[in-house]
Amino acid sequence: MLERIIIAGAGGQGIILLGKLIARVAAGRVPHVTFFPAYGAEVRGGASHCEVILSAREIASPCAERADILILMNQHGATEVLNRLAPSGLALINSSLCHVAARPGQTLIAIPASALADKAGNPRAANLVMLGAFLRHKPLFKTTDLEQAIRKNFAGAGQAELLAVNLRALHAGLDYAERG
What are the pLDDT digits (tens) for 11-59?
A: 889 999 999 999 999 998 999 999 999 876 655 667 899 999 999 999 9
Return the CATH number at 37.
3.40.920.10
Contact 91, 5 (CB under 8 A): no
Domain span at 26:
2-179
**142-162 pLDDT, tens per residue?**
999 999 999 999 887 678 889
Q: What domain count does the chain have?
A: 1
pLDDT of residue 41: 61
Taking the CA atoms of the chain, what radius of gyration do you get in angstroms?
15
Q: Directed axis angle between helix 15-27 and helix 126-137, to 10°?
A: 40
**H or E segment to which residue 77 belongs:** helix 75-81
**Cross-sheet strand order for the sheet of 107-111:** 32-39, 47-55, 2-10, 67-72, 85-94, 107-111
pLDDT of 8: 96
Rounded mean pLDDT of 109-123? 96
* 84 neighbors 66 (Cβ within 8 angstroms): yes
pTM for this entry: 0.93
Closest by CA to 20, choosing from 56, 59, 40, 48, is 48
What average pLDDT does the chain have?
A: 92
